[in-house]
Amino acid sequence: MDPVKVSAALGTVLVAGATTYGVSTLWNTPSWTHISLDDGTLSSKYADNYRHYFVGATDENKNWWSWSLKNRWSKDKNDSDESKRPGFGFKDVLDDWKKLKEKCDEAYKKQISEISKTTSETQYLERDVWRYCSPGFAGKPTTVQEKDSTTYQAQDDSYGKTQGTKLISVTDENNDWFWQIQQDRFFGIGRYQGITAEGSSGINKDTDSLFHALYESGNSHSRSIVKEICKEAYFVKTTKEENKPTATQANVFKFCSLEGK
């Protein structure tokens, strides 16, 4: 897509997605704050890259922890399907929101290798960490490889094909909560109001035409604009092409994956 078409796409998305909504409408949970970005104890630990997507283990988030305990943990504990019940660590919460908060904090600080992607009797399950400690309503965001891999099979050297294990799916509606956070971060709105917009710096017009045009457009009230631009970025080749939209890997990861802090 050339720059003119990019601008047109931005306008189209603005019209199609102009309906705005409050954070409470999307989350349908008590208000919450994410993990502190300044917490040095998480350096290189499991939650280090995921600070924006996990609820901070603080008493300030008491209402959210109580909600998670009641609406997620308690329901899972009594599920007739044993495989859906809380696993290692979380099974010991015992109907106490503070205990749930402490277990999440403990999981945040584990080494990446100490969080299990499969059933384990000795390690926290990644499934549980995202279910009980994250505002997302369907767990960890799914990736391009998991949901959209066939879309980019013929797109040699594109981000969608070469980085599919890291980039977040733009077709899975369960990822909408992730995209709302990315939207707020990019434009400095919502829960990021008053914080320097991440889309306002580190984006060069020549090497990052897609994200540069997005920020300049000012379409922050379009509910899906960041997701739509990431969708375009997934088709961009990792090596710059003349007269084609551009996007650096650093910013594709920053705005379209869980990799960018």
Confidence of residue 221 (pLDDT cuts 50, 70, 90): low
pLDDT of residue 196: 86
pLDDT in tens, 192-205: 988 889 999 889 99
CB atoms closer than 10 angstroms to residue 240: 14
Q: Supply the pLDDT for residue 219.
A: 72
pTM reported for the whole predicted model: 0.87
Ramachandran region, residue 212 (left: φ > 0; alpha: ψ -120 to 50; beta: rest)? alpha
pLDDT at residue number 244: 94
Does the pLDDT of residue 19 top 60, yes or no? no
| pLDDT given at position 123 | 96
Chain centroid, CA 213 distance in Å? 22
DSSP state, residue 167: B
Phi, psi of 158 (to 5 degrees): -85, 160
Quickly list DSSP for 136-168.
-TTSSPPBHHHHTGGGGTTSTTBHHHHSTTTBB
Torsion of CA 19, 227, 15, 220, to 10 degrees: 70
What is the greatest pairwise CA distance in the chain? 60
pLDDT tens for each residue of 62-72: 999 999 999 99
CB neighbours of 40 closer than 8 A, spacing ≥ 6? Answer: none
Tokens (6 digits) for 19: 């309906």
Distinct helix (H) and strand (E) counts, the chain: 12, 2
Per-residue pLDDT band at 224 (split at 50, 70, 90): confident
DSSP state, 219? Answer: -
- Cα–Cα distances (Å) from 74 to 66, 93, 130, in that order, read 10, 10, 15
Distance, CA of 130 to chain centre: 11
Query: What residue spans define the domains of the chain?
Result: 3-23+141-256, 29-133
Residue that wins the pLDDT comparison between 204 and 28: 204
Instruction: Please write the tens of the pLDDT for every residue from 114-173.
Output: 999 998 899 999 999 999 999 998 899 999 999 998 999 888 999 999 999 999 999 999
pLDDT band for 222, please (50, 70, 90 cuts): low
